[in-house]
Structure 1
Amino acid sequence: MPDRPFDGRAFRARRRAADLTQRQIAEAVGVQEAAVARWESETTKPLPETLPILARLLGMSLDTLFPREGKPDLADLRADAGYSQKDTIAITKASTTSSVRKAESGVRRLSDELVALLAAAYGVSERALRAAQERSFGNAAPDEAEGTAMPSSLAEKIRFALDSTYSVGSAPSDAQIAAAVNDYAGAAVVSQADIRDLRTGVVTEAVPIVLEGMADMLGFKPAYFQSEDAVTRQVVEGLTLLASKRRGDVGQIAARGMGAEGLPADLLAIVNEVVAEYARRPGPGTSNPQR
């Protein structure tokens, strides 16, 4: 974690130039006046999440007043946004800071949902937040790695998901994964041996409910485990049905008669919404009675 350097004497000079007292700084930050005095005498340093407030008080940018060398990790992004770990409870709507704390400590990665929530709160893109997360785990971020091959087969995706979600030695066993998937499905749909075969590449395909259960356990979106062909096929199915409706071949579209993956609910909703819009439009040479 590349800390932003705090020079107490330089800060004192800038505070005085801004005609601010130690008491005014203390009241704005929410600390005792003595704490500001200790910062300026370099006895102690302010918390990282306090630096953005100090920069605003002095009318300077954070990077100008407290320039950081190196790229930020997760804790840095949080601090730069002015949040403490405790503050993230309100952002994530969780009961504890466990998920954020574990991600910042390089123990367990954030779920897709938490990535989206924190990125919005921190004012960065989800890609930037994921890159910072990789630095928290001591890894080169995706935009910093050279020649990194993305997993393609189902076995590679499972192993990558486990390696990137859990620290060494803490990943769930095949039996634990199977139990979680069966709990998600509400029935015994997979065994320990089945998970082992999928993880090692002995078996290369799995039914959707198994993939959904694994995605739910690991905090990934289900589409992560699908092949590119499957995702492409879903989009093509949706567009084909939309074209059929435009020709008047079909009515309201239902998710049936498709491939094993089926049309995703969100894509289906979008297609039906557009279908409904076409149905409301007048045909060639007719007037719109609603106007």
Structure 2
Amino acid sequence: MPARRFDAERLLLARRDARLRQSEVGKILGVSDARVSAWETGRSVPDPEKLPGLAEALKHGLDVLFPRAGRPDLADLRADAGFSQTATRKLIGTRTQGPVAAAENGRRRLAAEYEQRLADAYGVSVEALRRAQERSFGNDVPEPGEPEPEKSVQEDGTALPTTLAERIVYVLEQAPNPLSDAEIAVAGNARAGKQILSEGLVRDLRMGVVTSATSEELDALAQALDTTPLIWSNDADVQRIIAETLLLKGQIAAIAARGGEEQGLSAELLTFISKEVDKARAEAMAHRDQPASP
């Protein structure tokens, strides 16, 4: 989810407006004045959990001094409450921060016994905590009273797949010869050169029983499905380009299977279209690698 926007100059002006020295701000936050100086000159950026303390020390609202566009996920709630991830182990009474880290990274949802403890510590309701958790898993659920987010659509008006399961099914539907779960696992492991996928994992991901996967698993899955790992991107523009590319690729494969020249398409034209598909993939990759707008 979108992190709070940090502006070094804004911090400097806010401190001067509060008539505080760097050393005084550092003392309040438990850091050195050199660290505060580095923040104000843009040489470094404070950890997200430091921002609430900074805003309070400078007598500014957190959303005013460090605004964020978008709804918070679990990591945002934690940072806004001033807790590091390591500190959460005391909040939930565990030896490590593993349960919180797994939930924040969209790997495994919080156990019910941890929800109330974290909600109390973060100063939110359990329901708000659960909504934030869904966002950590890639589901941008709205707050109560907010309209449901509009789904991106293709040119034909059909909605683009949004969940991991929907995307897997979408890629399989575009393939001329869809693979079974076992075949996908075998192909992914063969191309990755090691055991990463299992038939059970592929099935659970396809059916939505498991809603997230590691980057290594997603890369192997993309290779097995003969597509780009960008298929898992949440960027709507990237998704639209890939969806159109996959659709065109499927049409080309179908024509080739029937005999391209018999359908009025020469081998040269099929080659040209295939190159255009590759170009579209490159454009999607370039779009992903572009720096975000300030």
2:210, 2:58 → 1: CA distance?
41
CA deviation map 1:159-198 (0-9, x unaligned):
89x95676349xxxxxxxxxxxxxxxxxxxxxxxxxxxxx
1:94 aligns to what? 94
Taking a change above 3 Å as real, the CA distance of residues 14 and 146 of structure 1, as seen in their structure-2 partners, is closer
The aligned amino acid for 1:32 is S
2:48, 2:109 → 1: CA distance?
22
TM-score of the two chains, using structure 2 as the length reference: 0.50
Are the equivalent residues in 1 in contact too, given 2:15–2:21 (CA < 8 A)? yes
1:85 aligns to what? 85
TM-score of the two chains, using structure 1 as the length reference: 0.50
The aligned amino acid for 2:80 is D
2:212 aligns to what? 167
Deviation at 1:93, TM superposition (A): 0.6
- Percent identical among aligned pairs is 47
1:8, 1:142 → 2: CA distance?
31
Deviation at 1:139, TM superposition (A): 1.3
The aligned amino acid for 1:167 is S
1:51, 1:134 → 2: CA distance?
24
1:18 aligns to what? 18
2:106 aligns to what? 106
2:8 aligns to what? 8
Deviation at 1:114, TM superposition (A): 0.8
1:60, 1:28 → 2: CA distance?
15
Are the equivalent residues in 1 in contact too, given 2:141–2:149 (CA < 8 A)? no
Unaligned regions of 5+ residues in structure 2, if any? 151-203, 215-294
Deviation at 1:145, TM superposition (A): 5.0
Deviation at 1:124, TM superposition (A): 0.6
Unaligned regions of 5+ residues in structure 1, if any? 148-158, 170-291
Are the equivalent residues in 1 in contact too, given 2:137–2:211 (CA < 8 A)? no
1:76 aligns to what? 76
1:264 aligns to what? none
Q: Does 1:126 align with 2:138?
A: no
- Helix, strand or coil: the match of 2:16? helix
Q: Does 1:37 align with 2:82?
A: no
CA deviation map 1:196-237 (0-9, x unaligned):
xxxxxxxxxxxxxxxxxxxxxxxxxxxxxxxxxxxxxxxxxx
- Helix, strand or coil: the match of 1:84? coil
The aligned amino acid for 2:133 is Q
More helix by percentage: 2
1:63 aligns to what? 63
Are the equivalent residues in 1 in contact too, given 2:39–2:46 (CA < 8 A)? yes
Runs ≥4 in structure 1, deviation > 6 angstroms? none
1:134-283 superposed matches below 5 A: 134-141=134-141, 145=148, 163=208, 167-168=212-213
CA RMSD of the aligned region, Å?
A: 2.4
Deviation at 1:115, TM superposition (A): 1.2
Deviation at 1:73, TM superposition (A): 0.5
2:48 aligns to what? 48
2:3, 2:97 → 1: CA distance?
22
Taking a change above 3 Å as real, the CA distance of residues 164 and 133 of structure 1, as seen in their structure-2 partners, is farther
Deviation at 1:89, TM superposition (A): 1.2
Taking a change above 3 Å as real, the CA distance of residues 17 and 130 of structure 1, as seen in their structure-2 partners, is same
- Helix, strand or coil: the match of 1:132? helix
2:118, 2:93 → 1: CA distance?
11
1:5, 1:135 → 2: CA distance?
19
For the pair shown, which has the larger CA radius of gyration, 1 or 2?
A: 1
Deviation at 1:140, TM superposition (A): 2.9
Are the equivalent residues in 2 in contact too, given 1:99–1:110 (CA < 8 A)? yes
Deviation at 1:105, TM superposition (A): 0.4
The aligned amino acid for 1:79 is A
- Helix, strand or coil: the match of 1:79? helix
| Number of residue-to-residue matches in the alignment | 157
CA deviation map 1:11-46 (0-9, x unaligned):
111101111000111111111211111100011111
The aligned amino acid for 1:27 is K
The aligned amino acid for 2:25 is I
2:63, 2:48 → 1: CA distance?
13
